[in-house]
Structure 1
Amino acid sequence: MTMAHRATRRTALSTTDSPALVLGDRDLAAPLHAAGAPVTLVSRPTDIARYSRYVSRWLADPRPDDDALAATLLAAARLGRQPAVLFYQQDDDLLFVSRRRRELAPDLRFVIASADLVEKLVDKAAFQDLAAQVGLPVPCGRVLDLTGPLPATAELSFPLLVKPLRRESSWDSASAAKAAVVRDGRQLDDLVRRLDGRHARVIVQQPIDGPESRIESYHVYVDATGQVAAEFTGRKLRTYPRSLGHSTAVVTTDAPDVVRVGRDVVDRLALTGVAKLDFKRGADGRLWLLEINPRFNLWHNVGAAAGVNIPATVRADLLGRPRPRRAAARPGVAWCHVKPDLLSAREEGTSVGSWLRWAVACETRSGLDPADPMPHLVGKLAVPLYRRIRRRPERPDGT
């Protein structure tokens, strides 16, 4: 029996309870599984998360055909006897659910911010305007139009932090980091050349000095009545690349000022649903709001391990069940993405032995995880074989 068949066969073995349909990865499946939800993962065929012990069933994600994805989700929801709850993890997933909410809502249960707010939070130019309108503590910034001449150097105050308006793969070909710092007009011109016309506009902001470990976050679920149902705070430990990179190690914290500022931002925006608010703490201790992501994310795995399971609380509300007991998250609970975090730790001068002792003590992990080894094994063995077969040219007889 192939691994793909094994993944499908688990459907028959799973509980008849309300399924959690997950547009996401293992870090979202884990807290739902911990709450007793049978997880149906919707992802690419090469996604190794489908082999996780936290996943009961797998469905192929047919995107870029959004119509087909909607049909897949609705068919899965109508198949079961219990109502299905939908979870979404990336920006593309968020926008799909938001823009299709009327079509999906009759058969799927989910929480999501208002359609207008979702669009404004995903687009960094619209978010900059929104922040100015409601008085959010964001760094000063402006949008640069790259289709015409750039502003004169004298009009710009270097250094500048340059970010795409949306997270897109086309940015990755120009920068390994999520953003880029340019210190003069020459560096800005060089970045524009590397973007090679793939971005018509970017946003530039005054950077907040300090390492990525000064980035702190507020995680919240606001219910339909506007009340905070669950919340916790955290801080980045490392990213890869080390500057402006993607998170490789994070830890929960006890930060009352992050909670206070986070709640104020949520109130100003009348935000409901789930959200992650990223702040950077300046040298003077002031919290600067960098972005708001109104979707589920990897932090919900470590949050659940710390005692605040936001996906489980959302699911309980949508199914009309009692919520998990509300408690403060335990500070110091860690998550790491094993391979890139080792690279980041080595770059900062940490020995392999010291890092390994720390990683073994982590409560949650992505990548190589002894508690859930199958995705890693499949990634090392089956996925490369699958890709080679897909690239193999057909024989003359068509076989």
Structure 2
Amino acid sequence: MVLLLDKEVPVLLARIGNYPLHHGSLGVVRTVGRLGVPVHAIVEDRFTPVALSRHLTRGIVWRTTGCEEPELLADGLLSIGRTIGTRCVAVPTDDEAAILLAEYAHRLKECFLIPPVPAHLPRLLACKASLHGICAEAGVPSPRSRVPHSRDELVDAGRELGYPLVLKNLAPFSRLRTPAVSGTTTAVSCERELLDRFPAATPPPVLVQEYIPRQQAEDWITHIYCAADGVPLVLFTGLKLRSWPPYAGMTARAVALRNPELARLAERLCRRVGYSGPADLDWRYDRRDGQYKLVDFNPRTGAQFRLFENTHGVDVVRAMHLDLTGRAVPDGAQAEGRVFVAGQLDFASAAAWLRHERRLPPDLLGERPTERAWLCRDDPLPVTAEAIRFTALVARRLLRPRRSCPPGREPPGPQGSRD
């Protein structure tokens, strides 16, 4: 079956914030650009990897931080949409863009085709605290979590949940304006370490979550595209083999594996809340009680979405374009055994595994990648640009003078650390 998208309806890669080394953005450009759909992308500058893709119609330089007023960001998106000249499918690759598209849909629909998701829902799902409550109401397991509002509550949370603990930035936008931890996840081993991170009487917005020992856990992912009222048009499950930073960060290597129980949980949650659009869900299987526990719900396209296709070649972005342009999404089984590898992150994660485990990763000599995040024969320039920028980033970090940071205010992680 030849998959046909409506070539008269372009795509806008909608992005808020500064993360030029993001392979998920490049995946969006390639997956619809290869089918002849015009693709416009918001980029940080003219020489980001995405801006150099041969499948990109136009790169639009718009530098944002996520700290701007939402009304101004919505104005900026409208201005970009009007320059494109025709309504296009807006594909968000970060939580902030997804929230902005939902909350300002009444204005942005002038220029963009947007899933009919309830305006308030993406923010609630992306916020770690409200997600925990939503999971409880829907009967979907999630790790025990607390949101402390004072130093005393921080201590109480640590004693209740036990050490080590996992700390996470609480919500989109606040993670950019007042980050509690760098990157996505940080672990602390004891109460003293926890208090050293947050010396103020009122800690910044942070989620304190129970730690599931990696020896007793597996990391799974679900990518889904839902039509109105949470009806899934495509639903994929896969196993995360390695990540960077180790055990807590972006997917470095993963394999597509059918998991009916996980699929049922994801569908139940999306139908229960009436979610519509693309989503990337992170789960941790806890062998201690045999439960899949939802760790994150990202209401947008995930960085590793190209891991998944059905037997008709439909991934979540292609499903989104088909649905929003009024075309049927071909129904087909998940393509099993596809392997996704994220370039240098895979090498770094393998080295970390060797250092921690004192042995080579079991997947190192396994199946060859089906999908590479950067390297591609028909689109060679992005991987070159990524290699140059990545090398320069590493060099700057190695040459940077060491300096002490106030507790709880570590230097930010590498750009592009969004999964």
In the alignment, what sits opposite 1:201? 205
In the alignment, what sits opposite 1:32? 32
C-alpha spacing 1:192/1:239, structure 2 compared with 1 (3 Å): same
In the alignment, what sits opposite 2:141? 137
In the TM superposition, residue 253 of structure 1 has moved relative to its aligned partner by: 0.9
Measured on the aligned residues, the alpha-carbon RMSD in Å equals 3.3
Partner secondary structure for residue 200 of structure 1: coil
Superposition pairs for residues 1-399 of structure 1, below 5 Å? 17-24=8-15, 25-45=25-45, 46-64=47-65, 70-71=74-75, 73-79=77-83, 82-111=86-115, 113-146=117-150, 150-152=154-156, 155-159=159-163, 160-166=165-171, 168=175, 174-175=181-182, 178-193=184-199, 200-210=204-214, 214-224=218-228, 226-283=230-287, 284-304=289-309, 307-323=313-329, 325-349=330-354, 355=364, 361-379=368-386
Partners of 2:51 and 2:58 in 1: how far apart? 8
Kept after mapping to 2: 8 A contact 1:77/1:107:
yes
C-alpha spacing 1:53/1:170, structure 2 compared with 1 (3 Å): same
Kept after mapping to 2: 8 A contact 1:212/1:238:
no
In the comparison of the two structures, how many residue pairs are matched?
365
Kept after mapping to 1: 8 A contact 2:169/2:179:
no
Partners of 2:290 and 2:54 in 1: how far apart? 42
Partner secondary structure for residue 214 of structure 1: strand
Partner secondary structure for residue 120 of structure 2: helix
Partner secondary structure for residue 236 of structure 1: strand
Identity %: 23
Q: Which has the higher contact order (CA 8 A, sep 6+)?
A: 2
C-alpha spacing 1:322/1:136, structure 2 compared with 1 (3 Å): closer
Partners of 1:41 and 1:233 in 2: how far apart? 28
Provide structure 2 residue ranges, at least 5 long, that are not aligned to the other structure. Answer: 1-5, 16-24, 393-419
Kept after mapping to 2: 8 A contact 1:158/1:182:
no
Partners of 1:299 and 1:237 in 2: how far apart? 13
- Report the TM-score, using the length of structure 2 for normalisation: 0.76
Partner secondary structure for residue 148 of structure 2: strand
Amino acid at match of 2:36: G
Kept after mapping to 2: 8 A contact 1:112/1:274:
no
Partner secondary structure for residue 348 of structure 1: helix
Residue deviations 1:275-319 (CA, integer Å, cap 9, x gap):
222211111431111121111122322214873322112112212
* Structure whose residues are more often helix by fraction: 1
Partner secondary structure for residue 379 of structure 2: coil
Kept after mapping to 2: 8 A contact 1:22/1:41:
yes
Provide structure 1 residue ranges, at least 5 long, that are not aligned to the other structure. Answer: 1-14, 386-399
In the alignment, what sits opposite 2:399? none
Partner secondary structure for residue 32 of structure 2: helix
Residue deviations 1:378-397 (CA, integer Å, cap 9, x gap):
34569999xxxxxxxxxxxx
Greater Cα radius of gyration, structure 1 or 2: 1
- Report the TM-score, using the length of structure 1 for normalisation: 0.80
Kept after mapping to 2: 8 A contact 1:147/1:201:
no
